[in-house]
Amino acid sequence: MHLYVTRHGHTTPDKHLSDVGKQQAHALGAYLMETLSNKMLLYSSDLVRAEQTADILSAYLDKRLRLNPLLREYRTYKEQEEWVDFSQRITDFLYSLVQVIPDHESVLWVTHGGVFDVLMGLISGVGIAGQAFVVLTHHTGLSHFEWRDEKLHMIYHDQLEHLADVVLHTF
């Protein structure tokens, strides 16, 4: 299974997409429409900034959006969430998809920065015990992972080619 993961677009202080965030999402949508397979499932965190980004991508990809609270950022799923619980939540969701998605098909997650930290922990073998990584990822930066040989492998992280004509904001 190929897993593509992007962070939501740039946000306003009230956690909605800013005008720049909308431009970023449109740029990513156009890029994905040109480069990715038709056999793709689209999942998004149900937090507004991710959902707004995913809605834009869904229109470009002509894919049904599947909102899932399991893709929420650390400490937004339940009060007092510990890192190990967050990591387990993301890992369990990944494993649930691996069981049902054929190897040659793709999944796109629209999510939040902490999810990348968890995925890098899985790749490195550190696992879910503690936050071993803080992975910087630009808004709508695209990462590609592949599940093979019973493990997650990174193909690339934070690809920004689609943002060549869009203002980049800080992480």
Strand 106-111 to 65-67 pairing: unpaired
Q: Does domain 2-163 have CATH number 3.30.460.10?
A: no
93-126 residues labelled b (16+ CB within 10 A) or e (exposed): bbeebeeebeeeebbbbbbbbbbbbbbbbbeeee
Which of 64, 3, 68, 71 is closest to 36 using CA atoms? 3
Query: What is the full per-residue pLDDT of the chain (171 aa) written as tens digits?
Result: 999 999 999 999 999 999 999 999 999 999 999 998 778 999 999 999 999 999 999 999 999 999 999 999 999 998 889 999 999 999 999 999 999 998 889 999 999 999 999 999 999 887 777 666 788 999 999 999 999 999 999 999 999 999 998 877 666
Q: What is the helix (H) or strand (E) element at residue 170, kind and residue range?
A: none
Q: What is the pLDDT of residue 169?
A: 65
Name the β-bridge partners of 40: 106
